[in-house]
Amino acid sequence: MSLPDWILPFKEPHTEIKQIKNGFYKYQVAYVYSKEKKKTEKKTIRLLGKITEQHGFVPSAKDELRRKGDELPQVDIKIFGVFNLFSELMKEECASLKGFFTNDAAEIMLSFSMMRRVLRTHGISNANKKGWLLPHA
């Protein structure tokens, strides 16, 4: 299949442009070696978006949502669980802290005190060296 000239700038490595009916769609592809066939096969991973002459590349709604999700910071479920548990058990203490400090300051102090308690309970003195207190990449 020959693509129109206005489509060619949208071609990138590991992508494929397909014409379906009157539209052009860009897909992410990967090449996987098949031991049975003893050759490389193309595997379509996902739809990236539609390409139009008027608007250029228009990302698909699902791919846009996936990209936004990838940009969000990763939360360790264990730390969230500990925070949630302590928050429920210490509702009165949280309320009294918020009487003296702003909500943000009270939550930060509460979070640090909880994590310090949990890390000390488990004998983890060098948690930051292990990357447990650093944001996930």
Query: Do 63 and 46 form a contact (C-beta atoms < 8 A)?
Result: yes
pLDDT value at residue 137: 47
Given a cut of 60, whether residue 125 has pLDDT beyond it is no
Q: Give 47-97 pLDDT, tens digit per residue.
A: 999 999 899 999 888 888 888 877 777 766 776 777 778 778 878 877 888
Kindly indicate the confidence band of residue 13, based on its pLDDT and cuts at 50, 70 and 90.
very high
Q: What is the pTM of this model?
A: 0.52
Q: Give 32-43 pLDDT, tens digit per residue.
A: 998 998 999 999
Tell me the H-state helices in the chain.
61-71, 77-89, 91-100, 103-121
Residue 4: DSSP 8-state: P
Helix axes 77-89, 91-100, angle to 10 degrees: 90
Q: Give 89-101 pLDDT, tens digit per residue.
A: 878 877 888 888 8
Instruction: Give the residue extent of every domain in the chain.
Output: 8-71, 77-121
Question: Over the chain, what is the mean pLDDT?
Answer: 80
Residue 19 has a CB neighbour count (10 Å cut-off) of 14
Percent of the chain, pLDDT > 90? 23
